[in-house]
């Protein structure tokens, strides 16, 4: 049987500078290597010991899509756990990041969460588990 496990999650960036600041400075992810592939560059951040976030900056522009939250057949969001979602919410707001929701309890899922979009419009759910 195959032993599949996550390796990386990729986001095509719309604004590299804002994306590097958001994931590195604001969320505090450790930036790893940058790889120049010729027509695009890959910027890696460590999520866990075995999972990376890969930001791609393409030289060509193929436009953007803006699906609705309930659009079917698409990726919805990336979820992170943190120790204190309320403190992270305050940090995001103080850095000028507009959050889609304030911290709230989700009793059926045993966590407290916020929703926020990264600079590329990718929805992130950040949770603190009870």
Domains of the chain: 1-60 (3.10.180.10), 75-130 (3.30.720.110)
pLDDT of residue 61: 78
pLDDT of residue 76: 77
Span 47-99, pLDDT tens digits: 999 999 999 999 987 877 777 777 777 777 899 999 999 999 999 999 999 99
pLDDT of residue 40: 95
Q: Give 25's pLDDT tier (boundaries 50, 70, 90).
A: very high
pLDDT of residue 64: 76
Task: Copy the structure tokens of residue 29.
Answer: 């992810």
CA distance 13 to 56: 6
* Positive or negative torsion for Cα 23, 48, 117, 128: negative
């Amino acid at each position: 049987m195959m032993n599949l496990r996550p390796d990386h999650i990729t986001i095509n960036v719309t604004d590299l500078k804002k994306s590097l600041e958001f994931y590195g400075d604001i969320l505090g992810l450790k930036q790893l290597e940058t790889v120049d592939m010729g027509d695009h560059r890959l910027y890696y951040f460590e999520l866990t010991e075995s999972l990376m976030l890969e930001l791609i900056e393409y030289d060509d522009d193929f436009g953007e899509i803006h699906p609705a939250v309930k659009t079917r057949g698409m990726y919805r969001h990336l979820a992170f756990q943190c120790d204190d979602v309320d403190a992270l919410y305050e940090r995001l707001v103080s850095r000028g990041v507009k959050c889609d929701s304030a911290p709230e309890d989700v009793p059926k899922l045993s966590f407290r969460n916020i929703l926020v979009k990264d600079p590329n419009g990718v929805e992130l759910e950040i949770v603190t588990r009870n």
